[in-house]
Amino acid sequence: MSGRHPDKTCARCGRRFSWRKKWERDWEQVRYCSTSCRRRKVGVADRAREDRILRALQSVPVGQMPLSALADDSDEGDCLRQAARRLALKGLIIMSQKGRPVEPRDIRGPVDVSLPTDRCLKRLHLLR
């Protein structure tokens, strides 16, 4: 992080990333943190995952439910976590760890998500 090149947030995975020499010429246009994120972008399936998370938060009874319960298959966990991060960056959900809100771009480890309106009442436990 430097004054000339402030950090950016990846449009796909929602993680924070920093300027690198290889982006010297087009840093203004850079939206993704990696080749993988740039190739995958945010597609229809990803929007559907965001919807699925929001719907689950609006409908689960008080208590916790593992994020993996929302995954169609075991490989989907990462995509759901990225979807959750995008929602948190838009302010649609809150991510917290051990009961405290956390900065979605930098989180590692298990995290809880909830709607901003009901804070910690309804939670999904996001694995990893």
The letter for the amino acid at 93 is I
Structure tokens at 34: 């990696």
Closer residue to Zn ion, CB minimum distance, 55 or 90: 90
CB of 9 to Zn ion, least distance (A): 9
CB of 36 to Zn ion, least distance (A): 7
Residue ranges binding Zn ion (CB under 5 A): 10, 12-13, 33, 37
CA distance 83 to 79: 6
CA distance 59 to 114: 11
Closer residue to Zn ion, CB minimum distance, 5 or 119: 5
For 27, the 3-state DSSP assignment is helix
Burial 28-45 (b: 16+ CB within 10 A, else e): eebebbeeebeebebeee
Q: Is 68 exposed, middle or buried (0-12, 13-18, 19+ CB in 10 A)?
A: middle
Closer residue to Zn ion, CB minimum distance, 37 or 124: 37
Closer residue to Zn ion, CB minimum distance, 12 or 122: 12
CB of 17 to Zn ion, least distance (A): 7
CB of 61 to Zn ion, least distance (A): 33
